[in-house]
Structure formats: structure tokens, C-alpha cells
Amino acid sequence: MGQLGFPIAITLILIYLIVRYVNKKDKMLREDTKEQINLLRKENKEDKKLFELAINSFNVAVCEFKNVQQETNTIKNDMIEVKNDLLIIKTKIESK
């Protein structure tokens, strides 16, 4: 039994050192993971803001295109009226 005391003591010391090393590594990895998660959360918030700005910009552009379309339709209708007025004037001139 006296001969087993030293190897058992060395084994226990090695087990203790291994557990301590594993715990230290685990703690470092957890901290690194937390940092990465926090960074991703920050990036996600920034991406959400950017996406919201893009949507708002798109909505503004859609409103502007609708206004342009309305103005184009107004011009088209005005041109049709001018054409009809010119036809009426032409008919009156030809009939004299």
C-alpha cells in the first residue's frame, strides 16, 4: 500500500490540474461566445435600422412615382383635349 501512495497522489494532482485547465478553457470559450453574441446583437440592431431606412426610402419613392404617374395622366388628358380642340378648329376652318 505504501508503494501506491505516490502514484495515487500524482494521479490526483494531474486530475486536479486537468479539471482546472478544462474549467479555465471553458470559461474563456464562454466569454468569447458571449462577446460574439453581443457583437451579433449589435450588428442585428444596426441591420434592422438600415432595413427600416430602406423601407422608408422605398415608400417615399413609391409615393413620388404615384405623383409622377398622376401628373403624366393629367398631361395625357390635356393633350387629348388640345387635339380635339385642334380638330374642331380645323373643321370650322375647312367648312368656311
Q: Over the chain, what is the mean pLDDT?
A: 94
Residue range 42-80, pLDDT digits in tens = 999 999 999 999 999 999 999 999 999 999 999 999 999
Residue 2 has a pLDDT of: 61
Reading the block at residue 21, the C-alpha cell is 485547465
Residue 61 has a pLDDT of: 95
pTM of the model: 0.55
Residue 92 has a pLDDT of: 86
93 contact partners, CB below 8 Å, separation of at least 6: none
Reading the block at residue 89, the C-alpha cell is 378648329
Residue count of the chain, please give it.
96
Query: Averaged over 83-88, what is the pLDDT?
Result: 93
